[in-house]
Amino acid sequence: MSTAGFARRDTALRELMDDPACDATRLRRTLERFAVVNRLVSGWGGVYREHIRPLARRRAADGTPLRILDIGCGGGDVLERLIALARADGAEVDAVGIDPDARSLAVALARPGHRADYRRAHSSDLVAELATGAARFDVVISNHVLHHLDDAALATVLRDSDALARSLVVHSDIARSPVAYAAYAVGITPLAPGSFLRTDGLRSIRRSWTPRELAPALPAGWQVLRPGRFRLLAVRGERP
């Protein structure tokens, strides 16, 4: 594919795993293998150290739980990793993962020793619960969700995240580029057989934002950060 094909987001592409009728076995394998893929490409260890650890250590010091919400949690691997990292820093963690797809939640709930509460819900469902006295979260995150969203859905998720997070929001995604596309096409080969990882991953890259595209779509007080060459973060920094 020529570099001209990356000049803008290809929002007409749809990922195979988003089809309700997709092959269930290939979908399960895809969701399970995300645990390896995210370890390799998503950089959440660095994101935790840079953005979440200071808050986790403060919660550990004052003896209150660190409350984390993962929007579009998929199979739960990112959220479970953050729980482990925060607990290693001495924090008690109260974590919730939400996803509208029951197939994803089934994988999360089947994870041995999972420590988060997984719910089938949209972010707006949790915003509605705030009116009933539900507690807000210290940190709201997502991983590889933004590129799935059209403009209206993006605005909704950002607005909901702002309402749900009393301290910090970090949405992590891919930074679109032909180099990212080529590197993933080669690197994913050993993990791809019997799954949607290759096709959907390449489609994800073509649907993804560049930092310059995403920045104007963010509300005031948000910023786009580049934690790595192929990554971007939409961050609403900590509130006092």
Report pLDDT digits (tens) over 31-86. Answer: 999 999 999 999 999 999 999 999 999 999 999 999 999 999 999 999 999 999 99
Q: How far apart are CA 110 and CA 107, in angstroms?
A: 5
Phi-psi bin for 133: left (phi > 0), alpha (psi -120 to 50), beta?
left
* Side-chain-side CA neighbours of residue 90 (13 Å): 9
Q: What is the mean pLDDT of the chain?
A: 95
Q: Give the pLDDT confidence of 92-104 residue by residue, as tens digits.
A: 999 999 999 999 9
* CATH code of the domain containing 30: 3.40.50.150
The parent domain of residue 128 ranges over 10-236
Assigned domain for 173 exists: yes
Instruction: Yes or no: say if 170 and 139 are a contact pair by the CB < 8 Å rule.
Output: yes
Assigned domain for 4 exists: no
Q: Give the pLDDT confidence of 189-204 residue by residue, as tens digits.
A: 999 999 999 999 999 9
Q: How many domains does the chain have?
A: 1
* Side-chain-side CA neighbours of residue 25 (13 Å): 2
Q: Residue 188 — pLDDT band, cuts 50, 70, 90?
A: very high
Q: Residue 3 — pLDDT band, cuts 50, 70, 90?
A: low
CA 155 to chain centre: 16
CA dihedral 5, 152, 158, 17 (to 10 degrees): -60
3-state secondary structure of 34: helix
Assigned domain for 188 exists: yes
Q: How far apart are CA 52 and CA 189, in angstroms?
A: 32
Assigned domain for 37 exists: yes
Does 2 score more than 80 pLDDT? no
Assigned domain for 36 exists: yes
